[in-house]
């Protein structure tokens, strides 16, 4: 039984394929088209899934879309008209888009699938739809290591729901309650993302990273003016301050007056105000998530919690939930945003629609999220030889210690091996690596490799068996393989601050080394931890262990293999191009090692930066 799941048309289009309940492949369209957050129909992602399994479209029993857009259309029509006359004008302006993308979605999907299947649209008779939050919930619960769990989905908006709670038990998900549009934690956070000058649906993690530089000066103002927050975590928003329900921007002039000025213009310097605003909305978000989770625990009385939806990518909130919440453990879908809806939709059909029995894996069934393409020796050398690249092929016994040596000398290494990760995080399949002990590594990587803001922190990849030695994270009880939990750096690894250093404000805090691992320690002594396990990524684990044997440090800096504005690399060509365009020192593609100094001259060309939306 082959089931193909599809998410598309809003952002982060993706496809996923399951066979008899086993996840065979899952990938975002952006990785192939090189258009970040590509929202188009995932033609290339679907083709990859089919090719990986050796299938044709005719072999697929069910194709399932992750959303029921007609519901969304009907409810949004009601909302727009409720804001008449301005809402009606906005609705008329948006009408052609909705008509094309929503009202005729089923016909459009059949046409796109017919192109892939080389058949006629009316021959596509196996197309199903799940609800948006149902897809999120299925992606969170069914791959999780829990037989029974509460499930919480928090995002911008699905068809109409913005927050939903479910009870997962065996092969069934039972909806409990929901909050509806326009009252949305995801849209609230995105409104502040917009106001501080970052791009909505991609810049939220920048806002999260900026928060520790600020003070929570605006928390009371947010709670007094913008939200009516109840003790159980539910809330209503005062829509006088927001524009997303009936306009084309997230916030309005009244919002700007409340916070003392207009929204920051993108790419202009960040001020202390933006930092304080970022800290304030992050604090409010964490409080809402904690309150909601505690309410869910009281109501459903389960030991475990599963999370999905865009808000579940807020790893700072997740870390607090793990440390301070009532649940014994939590599990977060690594592709928690809309891309993961493709997988959830397919799993929902397998378990809920078809009623198949669910077998729970000891860890989870995501296979480390390594669900995308990998490349053979022939494919790699064919490309490298075509451009006269200089490389050497080494077996793992030679390669891993050599790369560990390279890292100890403060070199930056592009690392591409195995199958590409599904979701927004690089997890050792498509990563850029560095030495976390280096005081310069964060600045070098941000400014010379990633071409991104200097305040952005980097994550540590740590051997799972030594995570508790470096972070306040109980490795005997919990794992963090998907880099979705923030934990404090261990007290005995921190460097004591002088009084003068403690009183620094804003970006000045960045100049102070705060631990023995300064490149991965954020200004609040936190780190976005990835635990690395030999069962899911033995080569990456082996590299970290080789680095540990030379340094007694089982940690490496891990950031995604891309530059700002570009999707994570997919192919050997993507990897080599990114390597040569930046100031990376070495590149590893599977067992092939390349030194920048030995490569043929690469013509300097910065025009490529114009291809990407640099927000």
Q: Is the pLDDT of residue 137 over 80?
A: yes
Write the DSSP string, 488-531. EBPGGGB-PPPHHHHT--GGGGGGS--BSSGGG--TTSEEEEEE
Tens digit of each residue's pLDDT (9 = 90 or more) over 295-340 = 999 999 999 999 999 999 999 999 999 999 999 999 999 999 999 9
What confidence category does residue 342 fall into, taking pLDDT thresholds of 50, 70 and 90?
A: very high
Write the DSSP string, 120-161. -GGG---EEE--HHHHHHHHHHTTSS-SEEEEEEE-S-SSSE
Any idea which of 72-76, 437-441, 542-546 has the lowest mean pLDDT?
Answer: 72-76
Residue ranges of domains in the chain, CATH in brackets: 2-144+336-367 (3.30.420.40), 179-332 (3.30.420.40), 377-611 (3.90.870.20)
CA atoms within 13 A on the CB side of 412: 25
C-alpha torsion sign, points 395, 400, 405, 410: positive
Q: Is the pLDDT of residue 77 over 60?
A: no
Q: What pLDDT was estimated at residue 508?
A: 72
Backbone angles phi, psi at 573, to 5 degrees: -65, -45
Q: Tokens for 142? A: 């069914």
Q: Is the pLDDT of residue 584 over 70?
A: yes
Kindly list the distances between the CA atom of residue 51 and the CA atoms of 24, 116, 342, 353, 421, in Å, as whole numbers in the listed order: 11, 12, 17, 26, 17
Any idea which of 151-165, 400-414, 568-582, 599-613 has the lowest mean pLDDT?
Answer: 599-613
Q: Give the residue-averaged pLDDT of 393-407.
A: 98
CA atoms within 13 A on the CB side of 394: 15
Q: What pLDDT was estimated at residue 247?
A: 75
487 CB neighbour count, 10 Å cutoff:
25
Q: What pLDDT was estimated at residue 63?
A: 98
56 alpha-carbon distance from chain centroid: 30
Q: What pLDDT was estimated at residue 96?
A: 41
- Tell me how far apart the alpha carbons of residues 408 and 609 are, in angstroms, rounded to a whole number: 31
Q: Is the pLDDT of residue 85 over 80?
A: no
Q: What pLDDT was estimated at residue 78?
A: 59
Any idea which of 248-252, 312-316, 446-450, 523-527 has the lowest mean pLDDT?
Answer: 446-450
Q: Is the pLDDT of residue 76 over 80?
A: no
Q: What pLDDT was estimated at residue 98?
A: 43
Q: Tokens for 207? A: 């806002």
- Tell me how far apart the alpha carbons of residues 340 and 271 are, in angstroms, rounded to a whole number: 35
């Amino acid at each position: 039984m082959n089931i193909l799941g599809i998410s598309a048309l809003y952002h982060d289009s993706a496809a996923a394929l399951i066979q008899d309940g086993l996840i065979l492949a899952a990938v975002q369209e952006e990785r192939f088209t090189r258009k970040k957050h590509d929202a188009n129909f995932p033609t290339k992602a679907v083709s990859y899934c089919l090719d990986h399994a050796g299938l044709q479209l005719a072999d697929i029993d069910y194709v399932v879309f992750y959303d029921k857009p007609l519901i969304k259309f009907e409810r949004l029509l009601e909302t727009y008209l409720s804001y008449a006359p301005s809402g009606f004008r906005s609705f008329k302006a948006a009408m052609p888009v909705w008509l094309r993308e929503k009202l005729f979605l089923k016909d459009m999907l059949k046409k796109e699938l017919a192109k892939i299947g080389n058949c006629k649209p009316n021959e596509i008779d196996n197309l199903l739809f799940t609800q948006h939050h149902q897809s999120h919930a299925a992606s969170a619960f069914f791959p999780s290591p829990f037989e029974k769990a509460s499930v919480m989905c928090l995002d911008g908006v699905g068809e109409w729901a913005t927050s939903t709670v479910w009870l997962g038990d065996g092969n069934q998900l039972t909806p409990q309650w929901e909050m509806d549009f326009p009252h949305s934690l995801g849209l609230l956070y995105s409104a502040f993302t917009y106001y501080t000058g970052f791009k909505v649906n991609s810049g939220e993690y920048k806002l999260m990273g900026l928060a520790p530089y600020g003070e929570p000066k605006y928390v009371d103002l947010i709670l007094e003016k913008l939200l009516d927050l109840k003790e159980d975590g539910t809330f209503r928003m005062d829509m006088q301050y927001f524009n997303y329900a009936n306009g084309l921007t997230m916030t309005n002039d009244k919002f700007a007056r409340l916070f003392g000025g207009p929204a920051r213009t993108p790419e202009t310097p960040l001020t202390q105000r933006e930092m304080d605003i970022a800290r304030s909305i992050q604090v409010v978000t964490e409080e809402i998530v904690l309150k909601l989770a505690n309410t869910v625990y009281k109501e459903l009385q389960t030991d475990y919690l599963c999370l999905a939806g865009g808000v579940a990518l807020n790893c700072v909130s997740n870390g607090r939930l793990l440390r301070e919440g009532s649940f014994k453990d939590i599990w977060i879908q690594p592709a928690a945003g809309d891309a993961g809806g493709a997988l959830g939709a397919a799993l929902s059909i397998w378990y809920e629609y078809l009623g198949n029995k669910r077998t729970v894996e000891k860890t989870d069934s995501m296979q480390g999220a390594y669900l995308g393409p990998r490349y053979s020796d022939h494919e790699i050398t064919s490309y490298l030889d075509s451009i006269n690249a200089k490389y050497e092929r080494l077996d793992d016994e030679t390669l891993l210690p050599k790369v560990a040596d390279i890292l100890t000398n403060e070199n930056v290494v592009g690392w591409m091996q195995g199958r590409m990760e599904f979701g927004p995080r690089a997890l050792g399949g498509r990563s850029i690596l560095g030495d976390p002990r280096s005081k310069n590594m964060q600045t070098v990587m941000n400014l010379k490799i990633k071409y991104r803001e200097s305040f952005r922190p980097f994550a540590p990849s740590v051997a799972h068996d030594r995570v508790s030695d470096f972070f306040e994270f109980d490795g005997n009880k919990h794992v963090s393989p998907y880099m979705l939990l923030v934990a404090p750096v261990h007290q005995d690894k921190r460097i004591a601050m002088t009084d003068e250093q403690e009183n620094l404000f804003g970006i000045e805090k960045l100049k102070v080394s705060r631990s023995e691992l300064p490149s991965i320690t954020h200004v609040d002594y936190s780190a976005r931890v990835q635990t690395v396990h030999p069962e899911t990524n033995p080569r990456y684990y082996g590299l970290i262990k080789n680095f540990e044997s030379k340094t007694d440090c089982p940690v490496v800096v891990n950031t995604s293999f891309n530059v700002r504005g570009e999707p994570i690399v997919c192919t050997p060509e993507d990897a080599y191009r990114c390597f040569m365009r930046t100031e990376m020192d070495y590149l590893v593609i599977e067992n092939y090692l390349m030194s920048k100094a030995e490569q043929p001259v690469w013509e300097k060309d910065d025009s490529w930066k114009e291809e990407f939306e640099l927000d």
